[in-house]
Amino acid sequence: MTDAQIIELIKREVVPAVGCTEPAAVALCTAYAAEALGCRPDAVSVRLSGNMLKNAMGVGIPGTGMTGLPIAVALGAIAGKSGNGLELLKDSTPEAVAEARAFIADGRVEIGLTEDSDEILYIEVVCSAGEARARAVIAREHTRLVLLEGPCAEAYHLSESGTGGESASITGANLAGEGEELTLKRVYDFAVSVPLEDIEFIDEARRLNEAAAQEALKGNYGHELGKTLSRPLGKGIFGDTVFSHIISATSSACDARMAGAMIPVMSNSGSGNQGIAATLPVVVFAKENHNTREELLRALVLSHLTAIYIKQSLGRLSALCGCVVASTGSSCGLTYLMGGGYGQVAASVKNMIANLAGMVCDGAKPSCALKLSSGVSTAVLSAMLAVQNHSVSSTEGLIEDDVDCCIHNMTRLGSVGMRETDKMVLDIMTHKKV
């Protein structure tokens, strides 16, 4: 892949989002269907893939004080504007929320699993009003509109690939045009050598996610893991150290986001939590280690691009927790900031895979902050070992001498080996006695 193609890939995969991206994507699909209908719907029917349902059941919806999909769907139908992408709920007013609550109370929202698609990321929404009907489908990516039918659907253009123009495929092969994907060496070489002016845009990830962590401390969100770590209790156990600051900042931003705070974050590969985990450990360490601005920006690119590379073979949604992916990226960025070269960066990846491979995703929810803290803790430990040239060896578990083989071993485990695990997790989540 050329530098220009990699830059295009990063810009398309590292984008702002308000709230959890799964319910936001469902709200976006609902907005498309409502707009194609041309009037306010009387009823909305939603069909989702299992992974979408799993990741949207337990998260707070920004500006509503409510949890889960029904309120996201209702707001998408009543007040959603598809032109705002995954930030479409940011302008929801109290009046709109009240209307949406009434819409739900009247039994106008119906949600279930799809039986018509094998896509892991699949959203189908049908909006109806009287005899009029409109249908929208988003698939493979959170903003990839692949079908739109309805009285006003002609106002929207779908390309031949079925992409609504807001998001490109995550695979580098599609951008390269010749089936060439990234390697960790290519990721590293790009991050450390690309002209600085070409990657200045990545500073927006620092700005947004750092602001989210700071804003989160002003409220009591989720399980308050970030605040707990910054209080005397947390400092008494973890100390007032760069390590505790990394965990506190990362979990604070996740606390607020999963609880439904109206705080934008910079996402990675369709996940806000992945964007947080790929950004904040690098930002906090660089600040306290007195790294230069250039070193910080290159470390952020290394972190985010590594996460994107891993997602190429894992897929956007899987049974493997996304914090493993993003924290592996941040470990690479931390290793670089500690003075490590490519060999040490590769070692940090191996150390991460040896520790966290197999962490199960059981949906997006407030307790994701705990998983992110586990991921970034391991990221720091993996980087510390790597810069001292300590790496898990090829005789151990999933690890091979070739670091790219290690990555594909982990993603194969997550995308293929854990399929039955994914089904079991969804079955447990949907049959709990609450």
pLDDT tens, residue by residue, 183-208? 999 999 999 999 999 999 999 999 99
- At 83, which amino acid appears? G
Residue 157 confidence (pLDDT):
58
Residue 90 confidence (pLDDT):
79
**What number of H helices and E strands is found in the chain?**
18, 9
Residue 10 confidence (pLDDT):
97
Average pLDDT in the 316-321 region? 86
What span, in angstroms and rounded, lies between the C-alpha atoms of 388 and 412? 29
What span, in angstroms and rounded, lies between the C-alpha atoms of 68 and 43? 18
Among the listed ranges 130-134, 159-163, 385-389, which one has the minimum average pLDDT value? 159-163
Q: Which two tokens stand for residue 358?
A: 């197999």
> Is the predicted pLDDT of residue 388 greater than 60, yes or no?
yes
Average pLDDT in the 286-298 region? 98
Q: What is the DSSP string of 46-69?
A: EEE-HHHHHHHSSPEETTTTEESH
Counting residues of the chain whose pLDDT is more than 70, the rounded percentage is 94
> Is the predicted pLDDT of residue 170 greater than 80, yes or no?
no
- At 184, which amino acid appears? L
pTM: 0.88
Between 381 and 316, the more confident residue is 381
Average pLDDT in the 313-339 region? 93
pLDDT digits (tens, 9 = 90+) for 38-49: 999 999 999 999
> Is the predicted pLDDT of residue 315 greater than 90, yes or no?
no
Residue 169 confidence (pLDDT):
35
Tell me the angle at which helices 368-387 and 322-337 cross, rounded to the nearest 10 degrees. 30
What span, in angstroms and rounded, lies between the C-alpha atoms of 126 and 149? 9
What span, in angstroms and rounded, lies between the C-alpha atoms of 138 and 121? 8
